[in-house]
Amino acid sequence: MFGERPIEMGTLGHEVPVLRHIRSNSVYVSLFQSAFPRRREPKDVISFETVGRAIAAFQRTIVSANSAYDKFVAGDRPALSAAAQRGLRLFRSDRMQCATCHKPPFFTDAVGTPHFHNTGLYNVDGAGGLPGPDQGLANETHKKVDIGRFRTPTLRNISVTAPYMHDGSMKTLGDVVDHYASGGRAAQKGQPSPLRSTRVQGFEITSAEQGDLIAFLNSLTDKTFLSAPRYQTPYR
Ligand code: HEC
């Protein structure tokens, strides 16, 4: 809420109007009163402490584990279409190596100790540079080797979260697969990033295989999770 580098929620410097806004909302007043019943003073019921606790408590309930892929893993083999099953094998293959970074069950290697990778999206200066001020992990470490390295995002529910990549520069999952197949988007212009991961060096893929891989990515969509009333706005 208060982060400045980068600004996420922009609360810093706007504490008074933000609290006033939440406190003037009757839906939130009653929800906070029932969540924090022992606090008597109105200013203690809705404060940045209780707002932070409420958000944290909510986030801990956000668990998505009922996709077709999850059912398949739990033993319901027909839950995953034949195409998606072929796509899963490609996803885990030595040729494509997706699963080495997007590790099941979370489809990321950022659980616990986060790992950061350069997928070769950009090479604006011949040295692997990115356009604009966001140079990835290097913005924090100031090391050249960290330019363009980003935390591996989860792929759960990936079909509903376009556009893709840290800067939203890819519209479709097809664009993303083309990016990896070419050894990083920068390589499509003949200028692969010298900083790209050894695991993003490009591979052959047929259009049928591309369809299978995307069918697998779509099988990570958890419709019961996405439509569950408890994750919807309280203003219903
Ligand atoms: C070397 C580690 C690595 C490998 C191998 C890898 N990825 Fe990624 N993937 C990443 C990182 C890091 C990002 C985030 C890049 C960014 O934001 O600029 C990412 C982003 C993505 C995204 C976009 C996620 C989003 O929310 O925007 C998709 C989809 C994806 N990868 C699928 C794949 C597929 C399919 C493969 C195999 C063909 C693959 N990845 C191989 C590390 C990897």
pLDDT tens-digit profile of 35-94? 999 998 989 999 999 999 999 999 999 999 999 999 999 999 999 999 999 999 999 999
Q: Is 147 in the pocket of ligand 1 (CB under 6 A)?
A: no
Beta partners for residue 170, in sequence order: 164
Q: Is 200 in the pocket of ligand 1 (CB under 6 A)?
A: yes
Tell me what the mean pLDDT of segment 194-214 comes to: 98
User: Is 27 a member of any domain?
Assistant: yes
Asked if residue 52 and residue 122 are part of one domain, the reply reads no
Residue 150 is classified by DSSP as: E
User: Is 39 a member of any domain?
Assistant: yes
Q: Is 215 in the pocket of ligand 1 (CB under 6 A)?
A: no
More confident site: 75 or 112: 75
Asked if residue 33 and residue 143 are part of one domain, the reply reads no
Q: Is residue 60 within 8 Å of residue 231, measured between CB atoms? A: no
Query: How would residue 178 be classed by pLDDT, with cut points 50, 70 and 90?
Result: very high
Does the structure show a pLDDT above 80 at 142?
yes
Q: Is 135 in the pocket of ligand 1 (CB under 6 A)?
A: no
Query: How would residue 13 be classed by pLDDT, with cut points 50, 70 and 90?
Result: very high
Asked if residue 75 and residue 36 are part of one domain, the reply reads no
Asked if residue 117 and residue 21 are part of one domain, the reply reads no
User: Is 132 a member of any domain?
Assistant: yes
CA distance 145 to 123: 13
Asked if residue 191 and residue 78 are part of one domain, the reply reads yes
Asked if residue 170 and residue 117 are part of one domain, the reply reads yes
Rg (CA), the chain: 22
Does the structure show a pLDDT above 90 at 134?
yes
Could you tell me the two tokens for 177? Answer: 């697969």
Show the domain range for 208: 68-223
Q: Hey, whose CA ends up nearest to atom 33 of ligand 1?
A: 98
How high is the pLDDT of residue 232? 87
> Cα–Cα distances in Å, from 214 out to 147, 148, 219?
29, 25, 9
Asked if residue 52 and residue 160 are part of one domain, the reply reads no
Q: For residue 1, how far is its CA from the centre of ligand 1 (angstroms)?
A: 27
User: Is 230 a member of any domain?
Assistant: no
What predicted TM-score, i.e. pTM, was given to this entire model? 0.91
Asked if residue 121 and residue 177 are part of one domain, the reply reads yes
Domain tally, the chain: 2
Asked if residue 155 and residue 47 are part of one domain, the reply reads no
Query: How would residue 145 be classed by pLDDT, with cut points 50, 70 and 90?
Result: very high
Asked if residue 89 and residue 55 are part of one domain, the reply reads no
Asked if residue 211 and residue 135 are part of one domain, the reply reads yes
CA distance 174 to 152: 18
User: Is 3 a member of any domain?
Assistant: no
CA distance 29 to 9: 21
Q: In what helix (H) or strand (E) does residue 180 lie, and over which residues does it extend?
A: helix 173-181
How high is the pLDDT of residue 234? 80
Asked if residue 86 and residue 46 are part of one domain, the reply reads no
